[in-house]
Structures are given as structure tokens and as C-alpha cells.
Amino acid sequence: MRKLLTVAAAAFGLLVLGGLGFVLWFDSAYEPNRVVEYARVGDTALVLHIFTPAAETDGLRPAALLFHGGGWRSGLPQQSFHTAKLLAQHGYVAASASYRLKYSDGATPFDCVDDAKAAYRWLWEHAGELGIEPTRIVVGGSSAGGHLAAAVALIEGPGDPPEPPAAMLLFNAALDTSFEAPTAARIQYIAEEFGERGRDISPNHHIRPGAPPAIVFHGAKDGMVPIEHARAFCERMQEAGNDCELVTYPDASHGFYNLGLPLVDDVNTKLLAFLDRHQVTASAVAR
């Protein structure tokens, strides 16, 4: 028994050190220009890791607000740093948000949505300070983070800024939290955290005419979030008269957009082209 406990303790220590190493590497390789607190819940400070373009400009810039994945339970803002850095290099003020999580804060998915909305509201209210055009803030995220981005864009609530985000960038996003459509058995346990209120924060059930355009990247072999959910989302968006571009990868599984994986460059090329088509770019703001 003592030997088993020793092995378990060593494994846990390696996990902690591995996580710490991940954070330290990302903070050094993709160092944000600023870290600001956008909200505080009890003793928990919620922050934005902000990346700013190196080039000077006289005009206002577009912005991007990004949310990491992790099943509303875990994850780190550093997971979105590579996307934030990419967008900063193309003239955006990009922010990767922390938000409350189940494992660290006892948070529910509804708390996560509240935090995501607070982050968007903070960016809108501090647009002048950051030199951004508030009507050109795009939102994006992977997995549960994609759900939060879509929820910010589609689910209206009291205290929301005057306008929704300008566009959605969604990577293997959880777009249907009603748990009414077929869902992978391995994540059915999450359904209980939504209870009977899953539709309340389900992007697929809040699509309306005039919604922001979206680009949805999804792997056909995703074992966590069925690709059918992404197809249904884009179909409903288009039926409502909205622009929704679905980019599928036949052999990709969940998390294909994580840094270092082979599809990252292709995804980045397509998302930049999408933003250019919808004129949510630095040059468009300057005009």
C-alpha cells in the first residue's frame, strides 16, 4: 500500500510540474503585453491576457476575445495564446480570458457563461482605453470555450453591450447543450450539470436573424462533440439568413486546433480569410 501511495504521489507531482511547465512555457513563448482583471467573484480574480499589435496606428483596432476549452471544468487561458498571438500579428487587440471552472471554483456552465459575458462587457466598456472599435470585437474558442463564445454572441441578457460581437470563430465547439440530440456517451455525465435548463444556454437554440457571422471548424471523427451538432448549427444559422461557414476535417478528432497539431496552419489561414471577407480586420476598421 505504501508503495502504491508513493507511486501515486509521484505521478501527481509530475502532473503538477507538467502543468506548471506548460504555463511557464506559454507565458515565455507567447508573453501577453498586459494582464488585467475584468471581474472578481468572491476571492477569485478573473483576468484577460491581452496581446497588442507591435505596429503603431492612428486609428482604432479590431479586437478578439478568446475562451479556452476544458469541459467547463478545467483548462487554462494559455491554451488560446497561439491564436491571440496570431491575431495580434494581424492588427487585433486579442484577449484570452480566464473564467470560473468546476474543479477549481465549483462553477457550473451557467457561471461560465456569466463570466464570458462579463469579459465581453469589460472589453466593450474599456474600448477607448485599449484603442479598439467596440463594434469590431470578435469572439472565439475551442470546445467549451467555443460554447462560451457562441453564447456571448447569441444569448441576450440584461446588461449586455448595445451590440453583439462582430463574428464568431468556433473550433470543435459545444453548440448544443440541450442534450436532446444524440451526444457521445463519454460526455453524457456532463448533462446533469445543465439539468433541465440546458436550452437556456444552448447556442443552437438561440439563433436569430441578424446574428453575427460564424466560421465553424469541426473534425468528422470528434468523439466528444458530434459533428452533427456543428452541421445543425450552420443549417439553422443559414435558415435564419445568417452567414455560417462550416469547415470539416475528415480525419480530425476533438482538439485538432491545439498548438503543434498539423491542422493549425490551415485553420489559421481560413479564419483570417473569413475575417477579411467580413471586413473585421485592421484595414476595415481604418476605413
Work out the mean pLDDT of the chain and round it to a whole number: 89
Can you tell me the mean pLDDT for 163-175? 98
pLDDT at position 149: 99
The predicted model scores a pTM of 0.90
Q: 13: pLDDT confidence band, cut at 50, 70 and 90?
A: very low
Spatial separation of the C-alpha atoms in residues 28 and 83, rounded to whole Å: 15
Sheet of 61-67, strands arranged across: 34-41, 44-51, 93-97, 61-67, 132-142, 167-171, 214-219, 244-249
pLDDT at position 2: 44
Hey, where are the domains in the chain?
1-30, 32-286
Spatial separation of the C-alpha atoms in residues 16 and 198, rounded to whole Å: 33
pLDDT at position 185: 63
In this structure, which topology does domain 32-286 adopt according to CATH?
Rossmann fold (3.40.50)
Tell the burial category of 142 from Cβ atoms under 10 Å away from its Cβ (0-12, 13-18, 19+): buried
Nearby residues of 39 by Cβ (< 8 Å), 6 or more positions away? 46, 115, 118, 119, 122
Can you tell me the mean pLDDT for 87-92? 97
Can you tell me the mean pLDDT for 26-51? 91
**The pLDDT of residue 236 is above 80:** yes
**Model confidence pLDDT, tens digit, residues 92-129:** 999 999 999 999 999 999 999 999 999 999 999 999 99
Half-sphere exposure of 220 (CA within 13 A, CB side): 5
**The pLDDT of residue 27 is above 80:** no
**Model confidence pLDDT, tens digit, residues 184-234:** 666 677 888 898 999 999 999 999 999 999 999 999 999 999 999 999 999
**260 dihedral zone (left: phi>0; alpha: psi -120 to 50; beta):** left
Q: 7: pLDDT confidence band, cut at 50, 70 and 90?
A: very low
pLDDT at position 57: 83
Residue 101 vs residue 284, higher pLDDT:
101
Can you tell me the mean pLDDT for 10-21? 44
Please state, as a whole number, how many other Cβ atoms lie within 10 Å of the Cβ of residue 120: 26
